[in-house]
Structure 1
């Protein structure tokens, strides 16, 4: 029984002690606070302190927020005066700071302060230019964007002046821009001639680096072509060289080196050949082999999607006017030649010679092709394939066709 009495006494004492030690919640209904700091506009980078006087000493917190975030500040108190220091992360950003003084979930005071850009120190200037290459003629342009800021990287106020200069050849142009919505920008149109435009900006004594925009030629305009060759004979050996005039754009600028020029050749049978060249100093050259038989070409050159040349006729005379065909005793070996060119010289090695073999009913049995060696070409008719019988054969070389009737044994 005594044990129960002791336990009861201990519980009563514990309850009494805990009740008397519990902190009393401060009554905020009668507390008022007033902002002592009269200044409500500051320059970015300033040390900003807000002071409040209260009817009673308290530990109210100051909640501040701007466009970047929110934080809570605790005071330094001296009797009824509470002092709050705004952190640098808030005071260095040009914008509006809203604040609320809160005590035990009760709002004692609210307000805001304005932080403005620091214009007393040297300005920083960021410049952007693009595109860095534009087409001559006055329709294309580069855009120049200037972003002047204070030393804390806050954008300068609207209407801040930014002077720009751009130079092309001997002419220097000066203009003045004004900041609007954080930037000062302009467009710099291309002149009619090729070259480089040098551009620089200046704001509040701060100069930008030199920027460059390259002026490239416009699309090519129509041009002319010609040719050179060693002789006019269709020997299938020599090279003809096609050459363009100096290709320029509509403003007289020579087109860029490396511009592709396509030379299209149509022969007398309507078959098209192609070759191409790229420009150096505006001139393009391309080469083709002479044909192997008498031909008439029409040559036209193109800069794709932009320009074309005149139609250039080119004629080739026959270099080979005749040749002989010799048969072996059994008629199974056919020798063509000697094949001579326009000066009675043997044709160069590699001239194509074709033989078409027909049976007695003129049905094609086979076609053989070979090339000349030291002026001769040879065909062999194997007895395993060509049985003893009558055959017709057509030989074609340098556009000249000859027919022979063979009796194979």
Structure 2
């Protein structure tokens, strides 16, 4: 059923009910069968004041309905405007602020006296323009497009009419601003964008007369990593676990030469000489670069180091050779005192090792085992063997900085009460 038919049926019912409230109307209350709108406009601009006038005997008792896109508004009986039985219905301001088609119906006592339609035209664009942008992220040089849709509005928030000029502006990273003249169609203007070759932000703006958009942007993210190179930034080539070596990647790039996004995972992989896994360490890129600080091994060893982005780029491989740090480790065993004194330890150039170098002791014998670790101070440390180790022969080793020294101890019975 059309909007006209619904409007008229509803109005007839309403006017009939209102007309019957006081019983049968007197003949002088019944308007002429035919009434007409007087000087009713076919169109006007939004916000323009309007009084609807009609001529006919008894028209002042009639109801006027105003139907727009938001529904029906009933406007009560009109007031005398001039000679000749012309009556006026002032239209409320809020109705005149809504652009679009309007249907007018004048009715009384179940009869439609007159109908009219008019068009309220939107005003010029002004204020902040509505914008819709998506998707907000694109991968560089991908086939996925993005779109910016603008809705220019007049001072009352109505979308402007078709064929209104809208200037769209787009700036890709590293390029000049592009301007494009568009026209509104079905209340909007739209602009499709392709992904560019360089990471960064696509800046978007639009204007129409006195209307502007807020700044919009689309993030261009790097494609999947293609290549990377690793390098040693700091390296101490000895088996001293107090030391660390630093490794970093050159900027990890995608196929288009863009650094990957911050936070991209890079795995540094260490393998033994036989290819078996020694360890994996994760780092995250900042500005395309990932860096890791790795501890030196405790024993002489040869390793190979590489890096990869899981599912993506793989780096070159570096050979790492760690020689023994400690070259001299004198020690003295005092079996009666159950004590092993170690040091002073000598390093690669004959110097006394620094403080806090780990020294480990392991011995076994008679079904018993004992292990302990001490840290050097001025190149020395002392192991006190526990009293609960039974007397007997024990063999084992001392380890420090990659150097291993065999050890043999004969423990005697601990005298009781000093005898």
TM category (shorter chain) comes to: 0.7 to 0.9
Once the two structures are superposed, the pairs formed by residues 94-113 of structure 1 within 5 Å of their partners are: 94-104=99-109, 106-109=110-113, 111-113=115-117
CA contact (8 A) 1:100 1:107 kept: no
Q: Give CA-to-partner distance per residue, 1:328-376, whole Å, 9 cap, x none.
A: 151611123332221122222222222234232xx34332222222222
Tell me the distance in 1 between the aligned counterparts of 2:137 and 2:203.
12
For the pair 1:313 / 2:319, whether they are aligned, the reply is yes
User: Which of 145, 150, 153 pairs up with 1:149?
Assistant: 153
Secondary structure (helix, strand or coil) at the match of 2:112 reads strand
Show the counterpart of 1:347.
353
1:223 Cα offset (Å) = 0.7
Show the counterpart of 2:380.
376
Tell me the distance in 1 between the aligned counterparts of 2:128 and 2:183.
13
For the pair 1:165 / 2:206, whether they are aligned, the reply is no
Tell me the distance in 2 between the aligned counterparts of 1:210 and 1:60.
52
Q: 1:297 to 1:364 in 2, by over 3 A?
A: farther
Show the counterpart of 2:78.
75
Q: Which runs of 5+ in 1 are unaligned?
A: 1-21
Q: 1:396 to 1:188 in 2, by over 3 A?
A: same
The size of the alignment, in residue pairs, is: 382
CA contact (8 A) 1:125 1:203 kept: no
1:249 Cα offset (Å) = 2.0
Q: Give CA-to-partner distance per residue, 1:114-153, whole Å, 9 cap, x none.
A: 323245x565560534566644324455532211123332
CA contact (8 A) 1:132 1:212 kept: yes
Q: Give CA-to-partner distance per residue, 1:352-404, whole Å, 9 cap, x none.
A: 222234232xx343322222222223221232x12334434443333425242
Tell me the distance in 2 between the aligned counterparts of 1:242 and 1:57.
93
For the pair 1:203 / 2:202, whether they are aligned, the reply is no
Tell me the distance in 2 between the aligned counterparts of 1:41 and 1:365.
105
1:209 Cα offset (Å) = 5.5
Q: Give CA-to-partner distance per residue, 1:56-107, whole Å, 9 cap, x none.
A: 4651121323232433322113663322122121122112223333334x23
Secondary structure (helix, strand or coil) at the match of 1:89 reads helix
Q: 1:25 to 1:402 in 2, by over 3 A?
A: same
The worse-fitting range, judged by mean Cα deviation, of 194-203 and 365-374 is 194-203
CA contact (8 A) 2:263 2:286 kept: yes
User: Which of 251, 254, 260 pairs up with 2:259?
Assistant: 254
Show the counterpart of 1:190.
195
Show the counterpart of 1:274.
281
Taking structure 2 as the reference length, the TM-score comes to: 0.78
User: Which of 243, 246, 250 pairs up with 1:241?
Assistant: 246
Show the counterpart of 1:136.
140
Show the counterpart of 2:19.
none
Show the counterpart of 2:400.
397
Tell me the distance in 2 between the aligned counterparts of 1:405 and 1:327.
7
Tell me the distance in 1 between the aligned counterparts of 2:295 and 2:325.
14
Secondary structure (helix, strand or coil) at the match of 1:149 reads coil
CA contact (8 A) 1:265 1:298 kept: yes
CA contact (8 A) 2:162 2:185 kept: yes
Q: Which has the larger radius of gyration?
A: 1
1:207 Cα offset (Å) = 5.0
Q: 1:158 to 1:111 in 2, by over 3 A?
A: same
Q: Which runs of 5+ in 2 are unaligned?
A: 1-21, 414-419
The worse-fitting range, judged by mean Cα deviation, of 208-217 and 158-167 is 208-217
For the pair 1:387 / 2:394, whether they are aligned, the reply is no
Secondary structure (helix, strand or coil) at the match of 1:327 reads strand
CA contact (8 A) 1:358 1:365 kept: yes
Q: 1:57 to 1:391 in 2, by over 3 A?
A: closer
1:315 Cα offset (Å) = 1.3
